Structure 1
């Protein structure tokens, strides 16, 4: 009979094991990062000297339209459990027959899963749970509303991801927890300077300045300007760039604006790339001091969709799983969007999704 010892390891052995564990914790594979230059043309210098990045257009910019009254009237196609809360859009989800080959699944807030015409799977701003630590902890202490439900991705769906595009570092758009779940087989596309915030672990990333372009299989990925700001801590504001993304396959184009306020950069994008087939545009978080300078109202988004020549506009930022930052309620932005669509007599085709919905365009 073999007798197994149940005695505890001696103290020197424990110390040695602890030392090995601490050493190994710093032995994660280094990440591989490529950098693509564009606008601003001194992006590398700004990073090196720790000077802040700036928006392409700043200062007081006139808004093209503004809702003055009755902005949040109930709508017959938005069924809510209480006024503007816990709602579902019940109307027909009309989608123009673009035959673009793109399939879009809205996961909630700013997160999308895109199946591209060449068979690749792309994730946009995947944040599928609560905020990363320590903001989730701080939010709990101050009583900030957190997400009730989130459309989740299975392990198989995550493993099938070919590329991940993040627009900026704010906790509702950039999740280290999700990056670790997705893993290092996907390629990460980030605005210039953001790769330093990736966890260690052999990740492959490309940092891109505005108007730089990269090839991903049969796709061309363009980083484009946004009017916003960037930070992860209290000490790093605007030390990395922020961006929107344009994904191009042949003549078909899908645009994800990221968080952005209204400015002339949208006209610049239209001039450079022409009409855009599918536009994923934010419509929330515009209340509060200076919020609208860096977030669009629903009427801003409608006007932008017209400026971009969008063949279909899919709004995001509202919803039952939203954090309701700078919003009256979970669906007040959607109610305002439907109201202003009528007020402005907007001819932009709207495709309204509920969280988790998928559509083939």
Structure 2
């Protein structure tokens, strides 16, 4: 075939793929929860299961960010590496977990399915990317990204919510339309067009990939993506979720962004003890609006309490780190310092396994 003809055919195929409509499937119905407000402000929008003022079981008040010999950092407790010798808990879950940075994880299931949670390769989508930089926000060091071979073999990509630090359209276009995309309700219209296979899921809805069962579960958060609300208000138009993977009688829980609430107890009651818990510990601190930040993000002590309620056999924290945006934190690793401090203060019995970005562990 003539080279020019071949190039024309390839270009046409790419153009067709980019313009192909997405396939959207909604998984809801009996036994699931679709938490829509039925009256008042934001009627018809999603809401948390346990709204209203909160009381927290534990709050750090003294020496919360004590330095630790387990971290090698620069002078500002940033750009750190966790260096302690760790023992992998003998839970024989079969899951392999690699932390990509911030909320991103590459997961291999016990039977070999490959999945991503909340992958964001570099920065925010434009124009928020530029606006954040002009406003003086911390510009993120890129996270670790799966190899091209791993991307080509992905079975599914799961997103917890539409906030820019968890969902990037450019990354979707790079990953492509081979894997399934599992998302909360209302999420699909945020995708670019390109023949993507998208399943929107209510809380407690389930789906299968081979014999891997994937459950969408509640989180205590919110959603919005439009940064200029007087043009279009998308507040809580789309749902937010955590995720639970189940295979061979073993479970892995990804909490998504969430504040502390009774939904952790609900998840334990429904699914039993959790083998592997991927839990957020950052973005809770703000000098002017700290109450709101903590309402929708767990402090390290909130996370330790939640992990106790879930009966986590091992907890891997996330949200801090050298490739975080440090939103609502003192420094890149302040949340980890507080976690290590509060683990001792609370005499927490939940086993921790700390990853540096790019590291992985088989549990």
Q: 1:266 aligns with which of 246, 261, 264?
A: 264
Residue 217 of structure 1 deviates from its aligned partner by 1.3
TM-superposed deviation, 1:157? 1.6
Q: TM-score, normalised by structure 2?
A: 0.89
Deviations 1:79-135 (A, max 9, x none): 102231111000013220211111000000000000111211000000111111111
8 A Cα contact 2:244 2:254, kept in partner: yes
**1:291 counterpart = 2:293:** yes
Larger Rg: 1
Q: How many residues align?
A: 337
> How do residues 112-191 of structure 1 correspond to structure 2 at under 5 angstroms?
112-191=105-184
The CA RMSD measured in Å over matched residues stands at 1.9
- Counterpart CA distance in 2 for 1:280 and 1:206 is 22
**Structure 1 residues 266 and 211 mapped into 2: Cα distance closer, same or farther (>3 Å)?**
same
- Corresponding residue for residue 37 of structure 1: 28
- Listed as ranges, the matches of 1:10-49 within 5 Å are 28-38=19-29, 39-41=32-34
Q: Name the counterpart of 2:302.
A: 300
Instruction: State the alpha-carbon separation in 2 of the partners of residues 45 and 192 from structure 1.
Output: 17
Residue 155 to residue 307, structure 1, CA distance change in 2 (3 Å):
same
- The 4+ residue runs of structure 1 with deviation greater than 4 A are 24-27, 41-46
Aligned to 1:83: 76
Q: Tell me if structure 1 keeps the 8 A contact 2:33–2:204.
A: no
Residues 165-210 of structure 1 show CA distances to partners (whole Å, capped at 9, x for unaligned) of 0000000001111111110000000000101111101000110010
Aligned to 1:7: none
Whole-angstrom CA distance in 2 between matches of 1:72 and 1:236: 36
Partner of 2:241: 243
CA distance in 2, matches of 1:95, 1:155: 28
CA distance in 1, matches of 2:207, 2:143: 31
Give yes or no for contact 1:266–1:308 (8 Å, CA) kept in 2. yes
Residue ranges of structure 2 left out of the alignment (5+ in a row): 1-11
Please state whether the residue corresponding to 2:341 is helix, strand or coil: helix
Counterpart of 1:252 in structure 2 is: 250
Report how far residue 246 of structure 1 moved: 0.3
State the distance in 2 between where 1:58 and 1:44 align.
12
- C-alpha displacement at 1:41, in angstroms? 4.2
* Structure 1, gaps ≥5 residues long: 1-20
